[in-house]
């Protein structure tokens, strides 16, 4: 998160908005992660094993997009 400039206290909905603006390729996966977090944390919904497996895939997609964005940002800074 530090390479993307995301504050640790950023709320889940703001995080989803951040992904839509800065990591559009990861926005759908981020949205699903946030929605699942909200349902589990605040609606008391227990996620099934299959849903958890899908979330792991989504988390990997977000991680990959974030790493690519950080690398691109660093390359851009070096060019300046």
pLDDT 10s digits, 17-31: 999 999 999 999 999
Q: How far apart are CA 26 and CA 32, in angstroms?
A: 10
Residue percentage of the chain with pLDDT more than 70: 98
> How much is the pTM?
0.83
Cα 46 to chain centroid, rounded: 21
pLDDT over threshold 90, residue 65: yes
Which domain range does residue 54 map to?
Answer: 2-79
What pLDDT is recorded for position 1? 45
Q: Which tokens in the block code for residue 40?
A: 């589990």
The domain tally of the chain equals 1
């Amino acid at each position: 998160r530090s390479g993307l400039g995301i504050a640790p206290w950023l709320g889940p909905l703001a995080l989803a908005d951040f992904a839509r603006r800065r990591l559009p390729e990861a926005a759908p996966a981020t949205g699903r992660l946030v929605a699942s977090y909200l349902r589990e944390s605040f609606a008391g919904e227990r996620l099934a094993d299959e849903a958890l497996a899908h979330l792991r895939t989504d988390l990997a997609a977000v991680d990959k997009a974030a790493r690519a964005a950080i690398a691109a940002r660093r390359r851009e800074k070096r060019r300046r």
